[in-house]
């Protein structure tokens, strides 16, 4: 029996006014290394979701701008950036439908926040106002910071990455506040910030607040997240 390479959908974001949609190549390369076939899912409205999911074996929810705080019961904050109502609508619909189907999901940075909001959770709007800056989750520049994350030892995340403490590339100013339904926290920064969540059911769902794609090409621990997704999505030709 020959294994069929699973088709993995990756979300995308507008790359500029009138200039199409964009998914950083590091995400795509990590999926290809894992043995998957990447396809892009641009934010073009919730009516695309059903057709996408009928053709996909797995899903990567990539990073990007903030989610509209009204969608999780919060007011606007001066630090919120890059709001995109169509992207929010498309990706929340996609996330909820994929969860309902039990589709394997890897969610990264904004993707983690999408999963939490889709499940009824809420977000801290600006982490420095909540936990201070002893652990630097985002620098003033676009260069990611690096900090440790402690992983629950009996979790799918620990089993997938092969470690209970990992160094992570970080660039975010929001994080989980109230955890959504049927989710569990499985990773934390030293300041207590939730850095990873998973499903409380048997579904393959790993959501991380950091950016594993940035170092996956040289760090097998980070590449293992993409490997685990593709393995969970794998089909066998009969």
Residue 69 makes CB contacts below 8 A (sequence gap 6+) with 75, 76, 77, 80, 123, 125
Task: List the catalytic residues.
Answer: 109, 211, 213
């Amino acid at each position: 029996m020959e294994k069929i390479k699973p088709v993995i959908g990756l979300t995308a974001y507008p790359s500029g006014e009138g200039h199409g949609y964009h998914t950083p190549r590091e995400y795509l390369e990590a999926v290809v290394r894992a043995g998957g076939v990447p396809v892009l899912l641009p934010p073009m409205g919730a009516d695309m979701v059903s057709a996408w999911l009928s053709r996909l074996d797995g899903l990567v929810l990539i990073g990007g701008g903030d989610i509209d705080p009204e969608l999780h019961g919060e007011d606007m904050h001066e630090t919120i950036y890059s709001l995109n109502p169509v992207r929010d609508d498309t990706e929340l619909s996609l996330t909820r439908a994929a969860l309902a189907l039990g589709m394997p999901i890897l969610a990264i940075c904004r993707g983690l926040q999408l999963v939490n909001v889709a499940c009824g959770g809420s977000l801290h709007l600006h982490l420095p106002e909540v936990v201070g800056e002893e652990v630097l989750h985002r620098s003033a520049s676009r260069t990611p910071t690096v900090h440790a994350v402690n992983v629950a030892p009996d979790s799918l995340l620990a089993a997938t990455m092969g470690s209970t403490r990992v160094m992570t590339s970080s660039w975010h100013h929001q994080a989980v506040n109230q955890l959504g339904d049927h989710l569990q926290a499985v990773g934390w920064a030293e300041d207590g910030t939730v850095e990873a969540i998973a499903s409380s059911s048997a579904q393959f769902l790993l959501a991380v607040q950091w950016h594993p794609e940035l170092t996956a090409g040289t760090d097998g621990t980070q590449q293992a997240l993409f490997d685990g997704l593709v393995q969970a999505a794998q089909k066998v030709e009969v």
